[in-house]
Chains A and B, each alone.
Chain A
Amino acid sequence: AQKVTQAQTEISVVEKEDVTLDCVYETRDTTYYLFWYKQPPSGELVFLIRRNSFDEQNEISGRYSWNFQKSTSSFNFTITASQVVDSAVYFCALSEENYGGSQGNLIFGKGTKLSVKP
């Protein structure tokens, strides 16, 4: 079955702390995609990163980094030196692709609410 688990419901840190958001997924497919989206208090869903199942390279973008490990079915997200503007709900999502890209709906985790205090 397809499933995304974000075990951390809420995390609170003080500014400049590093924080890691956990994501564990389940899928039957060998080809799939993993995503992180950010939902700030204003409510929109902002795309952060996409990873395909064949690319286990870790990625760093500024203060953000992602660690993808197929062996543990995890796709964790780390924010280094957190800032107040990072306060948001973060969603991990899974997409199982068919050839032709005609499907690919997202299966979301429940989200992790991150609060960064000054």
Chain B
Amino acid sequence: DSGVTQTPKHLITATGQRVTLRCSPRSGDLSVYWYQQSLDQGLQFLIHYYNGEERAKGNILERFSAQQFPDLHSELNLSSLELGDSALYFCASRGTGGADTQYFGPGTRLTVL
């Protein structure tokens, strides 16, 4: 158990809908990273938050957004969903040390029908 929690574990929805994925980092970790794993693109970095502030963006679509709340949990919002958004979404948390390891949550499997 990495100590990172993600909910829900599975999500099935229809095209055009909006969903919210939730992540709680390990106790004491300030950084949350979101990644998408799909068959064609592999594991890709989406966005990074540190202590409530956005720090870096990767290959995140404009239809996707995220935030990190004062209690450090983070939410990834996906809107106007398309079939191609079906993927496994991971969040990872990292400690405050510059070289700390990212520990991953169990992931949310999103299926868009």
B47 to chain A, nearest CB (A): 9
| Per-position binary interface string of chain B over residues 36-54, scored 1 when its CB falls under 8 Å from any chain A CB and 0 otherwise | 0000001111001010000
Specify which chain A residues have a CB less than 8 angstroms from the CB of B109 in the assembled complex.
43
Q: Give complex CA distance A101, B90 in Å.
A: 20
Q: Does A108 contact B (CB under 8 A)?
A: yes
Residue in contact with A105 in the complex, picked from B45, B97, B104, CB distance below 8 Å: B45
| Per-position binary interface string of chain A over residues 82-115, scored 1 when its CB falls under 8 Å from any chain B CB and 0 otherwise | 0000000001000101011111111111110000
Tally A residues with Cβ within 8 Å of B: 26
Q: For A52, give the chain B residue with the smallest CB separation.
A: B99
Q: Give complex CA distance A108, B98 in Å.
A: 19
A103 touches B42 (CB 8 A): no
Q: Spell out B's residues near A (CB within 8 Å).
A: 2, 31, 33, 35, 42-45, 48, 50, 55-56, 58, 88, 90, 92, 94, 96-107, 109
Q: Spell out A's residues near B (CB within 8 Å).
A: 33, 35, 37, 43-47, 50, 52, 91, 95, 97, 99-111
